Amino acid sequence: MIKNNTETVIENNKVTYKRYFDVPADLLFEVWSEGEHLTEWWGPDGFTLTIQRLDFSNGGIWEFVMHGPDGHDYKNKIQFIDIQKPHFISYKHLGDGEGDEDVNFQSKIIFEKAGNGTNLVMEQQFTSKQELERVNEKYGAIEGGKQHIGNLAKYLEKIK
């Protein structure tokens, strides 16, 4: 059981983040699946989020823009592959949605009941170790992932 911090494991082309949250799995799943929650916490430190469309269903598309603290906008497009409420969400990041697949990876978000709380496991798998290294070098992906989970924790503290 992980308490109060995010454990990060890097293996070849995969990054796994683990953290315990003192909230039920249903609530944790909800804040990962509803736009009104996502706009409050999604992304690394200093980023804000504008949702263009969100079809939270198997095969559904989520298009959004992450607004960086440096003023740069980052378009994103995700396709949900497999959603099993409240157990996991699997999706594929499809780049910016306009043909630029600069960042292409698959994620699986797992919600494991742990007593009165939930263990969250976020797995991100890239096409190769070199691709993971490139994305991390260009975008700070691994640290961004840690901040992403940290911002989720801060948001949950506000709403629980």
How confident is the chain (160 residues) per 10-residue block, as mean pLDDT? 74 97 97 97 97 98 96 94 98 77 88 96 96 92 95 95
pTM above 0.75, yes or no: yes
pLDDT of residue 100: 55
B/e letters for 117-149, b = 16+ CB within 10 Å, e = fewer, are bbbbbbbbbbeeeeebeebbeeeebbebbbbbb
pLDDT of residue 130: 94
The Cα 110–Cα 106 span in angstroms is 13
Orientation angle between helical segments 129-139 and 141-159, nearest 10 degrees: 70
Query: Is residue 1 a part of any domain in this protein?
Result: no
Structural domain count, the chain: 1
| Structural domain containing residue 134 | 7-159
pLDDT of residue 39: 98
The closest of 12, 32, 23, 10 to 110, measured between CA atoms, is: 32
pLDDT of residue 98: 64
Phi, psi of 140 (to 5 degrees): 65, 40
Residue for token pair 């509803």 = 34
pLDDT of residue 103: 79
CATH code for position 78: 3.30.530.20
Query: Is residue 2 a part of any domain in this protein?
Result: no
Q: Report residue 43 as tokens.
A: 């992304």
Phi, psi of 153 (to 5 degrees): -60, -45
Contacts for 126-131 with beta carbons within 8 Å, 24 or more apart? 126/13, 126/14, 127/13, 128/13, 129/12, 129/13, 131/13, 131/104, 131/105
* H or E segment to which residue 119 belongs: strand 117-126
Instruction: Give bridge partners of residue 112 from the DSSP assignment.
Output: 119
Query: Is residue 11 a part of any domain in this protein?
Result: yes
